Chain A
Amino acid sequence: MTTNAQTPQRLLSADLLAGFWSSKVAVIAAFVFVFMVVLALAAPWISPQDPYDLSQLNLLDSRLAPFEKGIDGTVYLLGTDQQGRDMFSAILHGLRISLFVAVVSSVTALVIGTSLGILSGMRRGWLDTVLMRIVDVQLSIPAVLVSLVLLAVLGRGIDKIIFALITVQWVYFARTARAATLVEMSKDYVEAAQSFGFSRTRIMFWELLPNVLPPLLVVAMVEFAHAIALEATLSFLGVGLPITEPSLGLLISTGFAYLQNGEYWISLFPGIALLLLVFNLNLVAEWFRESLDSRRR
Chain B
Amino acid sequence: MTGLAFELRNVSRRFAIRRQLSEHLSSWFGYNQPKAVHALSDVSLKVSSGEVLGIVGESGCGKSTLARIMAGLVKPSEGEVYFEGQRVDELGERERVNAMLPAQLVFQNPFSSLNPRHRIRTILSQAALLHDLTQRNHVDEFVSSLLQSVGLPPSVSTRFAHEFSGGQLQRISLARSLSVSPRVLICDEPVSALDVSVQAQILNLLLELQTRQNLTYIIISHDLSVIRHLSDRVAVMYLGRVVEEGPAAALFENPQHPYTQALVRESLESAATRRLFKPIEGEIPSPINLPSGCGFHPRCPVSIDRCRLERPELRSFGPGRKVACHLVEADHSQQVTNGVK
Name the B residues within 8 Å of A245 (CB-CB).
none
Q: Is B83 part of the contact surface with A, judged by Cβ < 8 Å?
A: no
Identity of the chain B residue whose Cβ is nearest the Cβ of A197 in the assembled complex: B97
Q: Which A159-215 residues have a C-beta within 8 angstroms of B?
A: 187-189, 191-198, 207, 210-211
CB-based contact A4/B112 at 8 Å: yes
Interface string of B99-136 (1 = CB under 8 A from A): 01100110111011111111000000011001100000
Pair B166/A3 contact, Cβ less than 8 Å: yes
Q: B227: CB under 8 A from chain A?
A: no
Please determine whether B193 and A3 come into contact, CB atoms closer than 8 angstroms: yes
**Among A188, A193, A197, which residue has its beta carbon within 8 angstroms of that of B98?**
A197
Residues of chain A from 214 to 271 with CB closer than 8 A to chain B in the complex? none
User: Does A9 sit within 8 A of B, measured CB to CB?
Assistant: yes
Total A-B pairs in contact (CB under 8 Å)?
74
Task: Output the least CB separation between B279 and chain A (Å).
Answer: 19
The answer on a CB contact under 8 Å between A195 and B193 is no
Q: Are A187 and B193 in contact (CB under 8 A)?
A: no
Do B71 and A7 touch across chains, with their CB atoms under 8 A apart?
no
Known pairs A2-B193, A9-B162; A195 contacts B117 (CB<8 A): no
Known: A191-B73, A195-B97, A196-B180. A207 touches B115 (CB 8 A): yes
Which residues of the partner chain B approach A1 to less than 8 Å between Cβ atoms? 192-193
Within 8 A of A (CB), among B177-225: 180, 192-193
| B278 CB-CB contact with A under 8 Å | no
- Give the residue name and chain of the B residue nearest to A188 (CB): B113
Q: How far is the CB of B111 from chain A (nearest CB, A)?
A: 5
Contact yes or no, A192 B111, CB < 8 A: no
Contacting pair A195 B73 (CB below 8 A)? yes
Q: Does B62 contact A (CB under 8 A)?
A: no
- Count how many chain A residues have C-beta atoms less than 8 Å from C-beta atoms of the other chain: 22
Whole-angstrom CA separation of A88 from B320 in the bound complex = 92
Q: A1-B193, A10-B160, A211-B117 are in contact. Are A196 and B112 (CB under 8 A)?
A: no
User: Please, how many angstroms separate the alpha-carbon atoms of A3 and B170 in the complex?
Assistant: 12
Does A197 contact B193, Cβ atoms closer than 8 Å?
no
A194–B117 alpha-carbon span in the complex (Å): 17
Asked whether, in the complex, the Cβ of A189 is within 8 Å of the Cβ of B113, the reply is yes
* A3-B193, A7-B162, A192-B107 as given contacts; A197 in contact with B101, CB under 8 Å: yes
Given that A2-B193, A3-B193, A9-B162 are contacting pairs, would A195 and B72 also be in contact in the complex, using a CB cutoff of 8 Å?
Answer: yes
The verdict on B274 contacting chain A, using a C-beta distance below 8 Å, is no
Question: A210 vs B122: C-alpha distance in the bound complex, in angstroms?
Answer: 14
Q: Does residue A8 face the partner (Cβ distance < 8 Å to B)?
A: yes
A206 to chain B minimum Cβ distance, whole angstroms, is 8
CB of B19 within 8 A of chain A?
no
Complex Cα–Cα for A104 and B71 (A) = 45
Asked if residues A189 and B109 are in contact (CB atoms below 8 Å), the reply is: no
- Interface residue B233 (Cβ < 8 Å from any Cβ of A): no
B105 touches A195 (CB 8 A): yes
The answer to the question of B326 belonging to the interface, with a C-beta cut-off of 8 Å to chain A, is: no
Alpha-carbon distance between A207 and B117 when the two chains are bound, in angstroms: 8
Contact of A8 among B72, B116, B180, B192 (CB under 8 A): B116
B176 within 8 A of A: yes
Output the nearest chain A residue to B104 by Cβ-Cβ distance: A195
Kindly state whether residue B94 has any CB partner on chain A within 8 Å. yes
Are B113 and A187 in contact, with the CB atoms below 8 A?
Answer: yes
| Residue of A whose beta carbon sits closest to that of B188 | A188
Q: How far is the CA of A210 from the CA of B115 in the complex (A)?
A: 9
Minimum CB–CB distance from A209 to chain B (whole Å) comes to 9
A2 to B111 CA separation, bound complex (whole angstroms)? 9
Chain A residues whose C-beta falls within 8 Å of the C-beta of B73 in the assembled complex:
191, 194-195
Chain B, 26-58, CB within 8 A of any chain A CB: none
A210 cross-chain contacts in B, Cβ below 8 A: 115, 117-118
Q: Is the CB of A191 within 8 A of B115?
A: no
The answer on a CB contact under 8 Å between B71 and A187 is: no
The answer to whether B162 and A189 have CB atoms under 8 Å apart is no
B94 & A197 in contact (Cβ 8 Å cutoff): yes
The CA-CA distance from A198 to B94 in the complex, in Å, is 9
Chain B residues near A191 (CB, 8 Å)?
68, 73, 105, 107, 113
A194 to B118, CA, bound (A): 16
Residue of A nearest to B18 (CB): A124
Contact B105 A192 (CB under 8 A): yes
Instruction: For the complex formed, measure the closest distance between the CB of B103 and the CB atoms of chain A, giving whole angstroms.
Output: 9
Tell whether A189 pairs with B114 under 8 Å between CB atoms, given A8-B162, A10-B160, A194-B73.
yes
Q: B101–A196 contact, CB under 8 A?
A: yes
On whether A194 and B97 interact (CB within 8 A), knowing A188-B112, A189-B112, A211-B115, the answer reads yes
Query: Given the complex, which residues of B lie within 8 Å of A189, measured CB to CB?
Result: 112-115
Interface hits, B56-78 → A, CB 8 Å: 68, 71-73
Interface centre among A9, A197, A198, A207 (most CB of B within 10 A): A197
The CA-CA distance from A210 to B117 in the complex, in Å, is 6
Q: Are A195 and B130 in contact (CB under 8 A)?
A: no
On chain B, the residues within 8 Å of A195 by CB distance are 71-73, 97, 100, 104-105
For the A-B complex with A3-B166, A8-B117, A188-B109 known, give 20 more contacts whose Cβ atoms are closer than 8 Å. A2-B108, A2-B109, A8-B116, A9-B160, A9-B162, A188-B107, A188-B112, A189-B112, A192-B105, A195-B105, A196-B97, A196-B127, A196-B131, A207-B115, A210-B115, A210-B117, A210-B118, A211-B115, A211-B116, A211-B117
7 A-B interface contacts by CB (under 8 A): A1-B192, A10-B160, A195-B73, A196-B101, A196-B127, A197-B97, A197-B127
Binding site for B on A (CB under 8 A): 1-4, 7-10, 187-189, 191-198, 207, 210-211
Which 5 residue pairs spanning A and B have beta carbons closest together?
A: A188-B113, A8-B116, A196-B127, A210-B117, A187-B112
